[in-house]
Chains A and B, each alone.
Chain A
């Protein structure tokens, strides 16, 4: 250790400590002047504000912590919806980009270039303020397939009313667990004896049959509740029953999935193109069928390239869902860093909790990704 190595480190450390010290000293002085003490005790206080859309029971009499949970759940909801649709669209467009049909290829390229070169915020605004505002009023809506109602006030879909829902859920869990066992068994069998088990059809059978059995023997019963139009006032109508998806949620999920799908499409394309032609030819030359080539040779290698950047895109989508604040979808940022902050004035605590939430989410995913990357990396001798 010589002075040339220690000096820059000490200097950097000193600068960082000075900056932090300066900030925390000022923060203390400022808070003293305003008469607030630093602390997270306010989380258990009554929040006394309402939230438009919530997955759990919530009103003004609940605590700020409950409001935080409401926001977090709404963020997770829109992220999950967005991730599902972005994956579907992204994979389809990515494969279309690889098509040798000129028209399909170009259409996919135009889609990708167009949607990824426009700011996400602009797209959210477009869907929310321009496109969804052109929808009909509840009383003028034509039902889709008789049960779905797409109106300016939101998307009304039928809801299931369950009897013995828990038995049904247990049956699905049981199906998933047995599928996992079947997969392990099939893998072992292939490694030991070289015989392939039709895992896919067995899995589909299991996930269909077990829930059906729960209907027949478990006393599970489901009926469908269709939304019905209801007059509120002279000219105000709404739908009752069923599930209401608010327009904020729809436009946010739509914009997020269309935007992120362009990036996922590029990941998929890069992944499939990244598998060298020699691999396919080699696989074919040892007598594998085209299906087997795809399943055993191309896909495992393509997925190795596709999955890491795609996970990154999922993470981006989750972080981008915070743009919800712009159209008043009650996500974590709007409910907690917006309304709760306005009410309590506790800027430091609330912003730090919000940032920590996102930070822990993305760090845990990136730790998982590092682990996964190490696991699937090609082990070279």
Chain B
């Protein structure tokens, strides 16, 4: 017990320093813990300012005492290295721990302990906590908007089917792997389009959907007998031709009249809403903005001057204006540009507007990837006698797209986060529905619960997306 220097703890009197320090730190945390969870103040006999600062001072001294280099204790070294490297760090660590302890009880009580979820009217919400009953009652509206309740199975079924079809890629055997790109780029979007616009929208057009499916199935089956050289063209041209044939040559409208079954009820797009609309809008914009952006980025790097300057103009225009003005344009200005008798559905206009807007951002991201490729790749491809398209499809794009996975993922995330803006044209996805529910005279005063609920939903979606993109990035990373 000689040379006990409290200003500079060292290894010699390790246990003394350690026990004193740990006791002080535990004491300070214990005081704050008691105070915040049980409302008891152990040191209330002291003046207010001192009792407020005492835990901080105690903990600070304690942390100072246990800051011993090379103590030989593994745990102590880890603690010192991570939260206790110097006085300033120790102070900040203590502060963070205290703030967390202090803020836990009110948060817990608001979220869980004092919250209500039972019952089905506003009256059960008496406590100070959150009123989850509000979310429970409005849950259907937050998910499906004004979509009629008995018809909601259509949305569920479509999403389940599309989710299943979307996951098919993971189960594909080696033999079908080469068709995956084609499937995801051409077939899947077409199927999704049919599903959403004819099944969720419903009505007599439901028959369009069935004929479309028949056309798609027949052409896929026939497709296996086509030489691989023409397959690409085949799968683009044939389904469309089939569809046009059915629609205009075989006069299928008369067929519908003939076999008029009990068709699905038509639900206009104005009634769609809630989280399902968020999904629908982001899904379509995602599908459309990628190819548009790809072509714009190629156009921007093209050596044909007219195409180059048109692409630059497009990209810079969409990137220069806020999305809200684009939506304004699509809702108030765009109808002026159309013939009097022509009407484009509000939802379609919004999807076109957002797709064009995000495509400009995708284009810039892809351009970054294209620029990052060394010139040698272009030269090598050209020296093998490849033309422009062959070079890009086989050599350049696979490498460039791999490089820009994080950038594209960020753009898609921005897209998902931008969908609430469609309230400008009167479409109410989940945030819009929240604002509607908030003004309902029977449910006034629950804005907080609604926004917290939506925030959690969006956080889960966006966080999952960003983690998935990170995985993709790691998976396709190639060493150069």
Contact = CB atoms under 8 A, between A and B. Distances in A.
The reply to whether chain A is a binding partner of chain B is: yes
Q: What secondary structure prevails in chain A residues at the interface with B?
A: helix
A348 B336 contact: yes
Interface in B275-333: 304-307, 310, 316-317, 319-325, 328-329, 332-333
A130 B451 contact: yes
A172 interface: no
Contact of B320 (A16, A123, A359): A359
Nearest to B461: A117
Contacts of A121: 420-421, 423, 431
Interface in B448-476: 448, 451, 454-455, 458-459, 462-463, 466
B337 interface: yes
B428 interface: no
B445 to A, nearest CB: 9
Given A103-B92, A120-B417, A348-B333, A16 B310 contact: yes
Interface string A25-40: 0110111010000000
B11 interface: no
B96 interface: yes
A89 interface: no
A5 interface: yes
A118 interface: yes
A325 interface: yes
Contacts of A130: 447-448, 451
B89 to A, nearest CB: 5
Interface in B146-185: none
B339 A12 contact: no
Interface residues of B, number: 55
Given A122-B458, A337-B325, A103 B93 contact: yes
The number of chain A residues touching the other chain, given as a range, is: 35 or more
A351 interface: yes
Interface string A1-28: 0000100111011001000001110110
B455 A104 contact: no
Given A26-B339, A118-B458, A348-B333, A101 B93 contact: yes
A376 interface: no
A231 interface: no
A354 B325 contact: yes
Interface in B196-239: none
A129 interface: yes
A173 to B, nearest CB: 32
Interface string B48-80: 000000000000000000000000000000000
A118 to B, nearest CB: 5
Contacts of A133: 447
A333 B417 CA distance: 20
A12 B325 contact: no
B451 A129 contact: yes
Contact of A358 (B97, B305, B306, B321): B321
Interface stretch (A135-143, A176-184, A316-324): A316-324
Nearest to A320: B322
A42 interface: no
B424 interface: yes
B83 interface: yes
A102 interface: yes
Interface string A303-347: 000000000000000011011011000000100010001000001
Contacts of B466: 117
Which interface residue of B305, B332, B454 has the most chain A CB atoms within 10 A? B332
Contact of B454 (A122, A322, A341, A366): A122
Given A130-B448, A130-B451, A363-B316, A119 B325 contact: no
B464 to A, nearest CB: 9
A95 B384 CA distance: 49
Contacts of B413: 117
Contact of A323 (B81, B304, B421): B421
B470 to A, nearest CB: 12
Nearest to A13: B306
B438 interface: yes
Contacts of B451: 122, 125-126, 129-130
Interface in B319-368: 319-325, 328-329, 332-333, 336-340
B324 A322 contact: yes
A27 B337 CA distance: 5
A192 interface: no
A347 B333 CA distance: 5
A119 B322 contact: no
Given A26-B337, A101-B83, A341-B332, A326 B321 contact: no
Interface string A153-164: 000000000000
A294 B435 CA distance: 49
Contacts of A322: 322, 324-325
A10 B316 CA distance: 22
A348 B336 CA distance: 8
Contact of B304 (A5, A23, A107, A337): A5
A13 B308 CA distance: 11
B336 A326 contact: no
Contacts of B321: 319, 355, 358-359, 362
B36 interface: no
B85 interface: yes
B324 A103 contact: no
Contacts of A319: 321-323
B408 interface: no
Given A5-B304, A9-B305, A351-B333, A101 B92 contact: yes
21 contacts: A13-B310, A16-B310, A30-B336, A100-B85, A101-B85, A102-B82, A102-B83, A103-B83, A103-B96, A104-B96, A119-B417, A119-B431, A120-B417, A123-B455, A129-B435, A133-B447, A320-B322, A351-B332, A355-B329, A358-B322, A361-B320
- Across chains A and B, which 4 residue pairs bring their CB atoms closest together, nearest first? A117-B462, A102-B82, A319-B322, A23-B337
Given A13-B306, A107-B96, A119-B417, 9 more contacts: A27-B336, A100-B89, A104-B96, A117-B466, A119-B458, A122-B451, A333-B328, A358-B325, A362-B321
